[in-house]
Structure 1
């Protein structure tokens, strides 16, 4: 659930004037989009076809998943391209190793879930001449008093490494009982600060962050930056592409739609997914939600004035049975607040 924190940090850099949401990022990230757009794959020659891309990629696109990037483990064409190069998806130590990928559409024209926040974090590091860890530590974690509860590198910190939770995994069919998976590397060799997938946090630390963002704590962002953080960023075409993407398969609906019915129209803001309509008994219109690979989910219901997160350490990602538990948790919190309001 690192993307929300990275979006906050990036907006701080925008406030500082060292980043621009709509400028071309290529001057600071020269390798981004270097392959152009993948258009097909010839199995006979084991080679991909590409078309050139002339459109700039902006920070706004990176934070909105409209830049043309898609995770290679989600896209069959990118999977074939990786295999043709004897490479595994999303492996290696740096953002460049993991995310210098062919684009899957012209920037700004569609939606695909990808490593935009990893690139955004790298952009901040270049512009601020620091690491994402140091920037967030000074600008977010210390002001909120959670500097001992969150880090990209908890294994290097005496107060954190003893509290690291192992992952557990269900069997290949997604059935219990869960078994310990202590050797599973959720970063797949990553050593960079991965703004899209690299943070480790305690429940206490992450909830403190959510609470600060819900109440728009001025220690973190200016009022106009909070407005930008939660403002839907997709135009009509990209919003439709997002909703089509979520409905692409049951796996997409669960992993990217968090099990929310496809009849609930969705869009995207810098913080995460926005439910444009409410879901009876669960949340009100405009609620923002997102998740992390080991079945962890957060939500901010702006209208009801509540936020919450339930953290798991279990694979496979966004398993339907675990997502159902998240829905029950969210509904229970919503019911409690609603009963008190009455």
Structure 2
């Protein structure tokens, strides 16, 4: 039975020390829960023995991006933002350096090409704006080092993401901080912090406002349920140990739309289910169409696939375990598979994940979705992500079996 196989996958992982704890939930378009499982501990610190369950609050990292995309579309519906207007006027520090064209390693001096090409919210949400994360780019890593700075560090979005562009906006694809800028645009356009905007439009209508936040340590109820990060050894082998020095926000104090949300599995599952079922409490039907449709033209699609397959580290962080032979596209929601894998996912399925080895998927054709939360490093660790793949395959079987009855 598929459920028993999923049970064993995660039970073995916890027993081996690969995972300190985990919570996974999957459901279908009718609102049924297809599978749920929580086990292990939420902390490996001495003296802590709390169970890891659906109420455990985790840093969901880049799974925040889906929520920020939904927030942008809601602000567009309300007439506060425009997807295709130049956002530079809202975000004056964005793109301020122009395009970096070279770096003299001897003098540690960069060279730039001025660029005033409009940068739109559509570009920011599809990673076509010219931004790339400095921790992914050796070129931008050199730029940070020459300035005596640590990649993606500092309190504000501007500190983390006011980087030189690496290409002319709208011409290529690179994974970067576009959602952090887009979240900041929501704040400028609406006059509300992203936390407040999301709470009033999404979290309170869904009844999850006490289980999700950009600032979990400011809420005593949430703070007590925070999971602690654990790490495997330098070879990525178990058993995991406590990792007290790791700050997933790298000093961030802004609402970081690309990576800053903390949520329980149950709360994110409710949000994911509402989006999957296109709940009108969150967005209009037209906005959901915009959220899920592939956004890239032919050149952009080619650039995305070349980028994902350009190195093992890109594959680890961006392919989400989906084989290279599956052609990929990008939507505001996340990665889109242009073909399916029988027994795993259908053509048109949408996915994304996060540094803390967390993930979600939506299989629109087969009618099921799910999420998996844990808090373990190294980032997007392949053996951990492989566990979640087995979870997805098991849910496919459960869903298919129910449909056939």
TM-score bracket, shorter-length normalisation: over 0.9
Q: Report the more deviating stretch, 187-196 or 277-286.
A: 277-286
Match of 1:302 in 2: 364
Find runs of 4+ consecutive structure 1 residues off by over 3 angstroms. Answer: none
1:183 Cα deviation from its structure 2 partner: 3.0
Match of 1:188 in 2: 250
Are residue 112 (structure 1) and residue 112 (structure 2) matched?
Answer: no
Q: Distance in 2 between matches of 1:65 and 1:196?
A: 11
Match of 1:146 in 2: 208
2:324 to 259, 262, 278: 262
Match of 1:280 in 2: 342
Are residue 335 (structure 1) and residue 400 (structure 2) matched?
Answer: no
Match of 2:383 in 1: 321
Q: Distance in 1 between matches of 2:382 and 2:91?
A: 37
**Aligned-residue CA RMSD in angstroms?**
0.7
1:141 Cα deviation from its structure 2 partner: 0.1
Aligned ranges for residues 71-86 of structure 1 at < 5 Å? 71-86=133-148
Q: Report the more deviating stretch, 51-60 or 202-211.
A: 51-60
Aligned ranges for residues 148-297 of structure 1 at < 5 Å? 148-297=210-359
Q: Distance in 2 between matches of 1:173 and 1:49?
A: 38
Aligned ranges for residues 61-80 of structure 1 at < 5 Å? 61-80=123-142
Q: Which has the higher contact order (CA 8 A, sep 6+)?
A: 2
Aligned length: 342
Deviations along 1:196-231, one digit per CA (max 9) or x if unpaired, are 000000000000001001110000000000000001
Q: Distance in 2 between matches of 1:169 and 1:231?
A: 37
Match of 2:69 in 1: 7
Q: Distance in 2 between matches of 1:182 and 1:162?
A: 16
Q: Distance in 2 between matches of 1:193 and 1:340?
A: 41
Q: Distance in 2 between matches of 1:107 and 1:97?
A: 20
Q: Report the more deviating stretch, 251-260 or 222-231.
A: 251-260
Match of 1:311 in 2: 373
Q: Distance in 2 between matches of 1:264 and 1:140?
A: 33
1:184 Cα deviation from its structure 2 partner: 1.2
Question: SS where residue 390 of structure 2 aligns?
Answer: helix
Unmatched runs of 5 consecutive residues or more in structure 1:
none
Are residue 36 (structure 1) and residue 98 (structure 2) matched?
Answer: yes
Q: Distance in 2 between matches of 1:341 and 1:245?
A: 37
> Radius of gyration: which is bigger?
2
Match of 1:91 in 2: 153
1:54 Cα deviation from its structure 2 partner: 2.8
Q: Distance in 1 between matches of 2:259 and 2:328?
A: 22
Deviations along 1:281-333, one digit per CA (max 9) or x if unpaired, are 10000000000110000000011111100111001111110111111000000
Q: Distance in 2 between matches of 1:105 and 1:46?
A: 20
Q: Distance in 2 between matches of 1:338 and 1:40?
A: 53
1:158 Cα deviation from its structure 2 partner: 1.6
1:52 Cα deviation from its structure 2 partner: 1.6
